[in-house]
Amino acid sequence: MTVVSSRQFATNQKRFYDLAVKERVIIKRGRNIFHLTCGNIETNDDYADLMEAKAYADDEDTSLADFRKYVSELTK
């Protein structure tokens, strides 16, 4: 899983679209998170961890670095 800021996504869209074919890409913009998926592949991912991540992202004191660390711990 890759977590990026909205600015990183905006400057490297092709890279992250290509990466979404292989793995989850999460874009954090302010207190919101967006999950980038590829509709051409079948995924059986459990989205419960993303809901937990969203709750964590809703905390206005969460920095992007803290959010990335939290999400990476979820995927271990």
Domain boundary assignment for the chain: 2-74
Q: What pTM did the predictor assign?
A: 0.55
- Average pLDDT score over residue span 42-56: 58
- Average pLDDT score over residue span 34-53: 64
Q: What is the DSSP letter of 29?
A: E
Tens digits of per-residue pLDDT, 2-42? 889 999 999 999 999 999 888 888 898 888 888 887 766 65
Q: Which positions ≥6 away from 19 have C-beta within 8 Å?
A: 2, 25
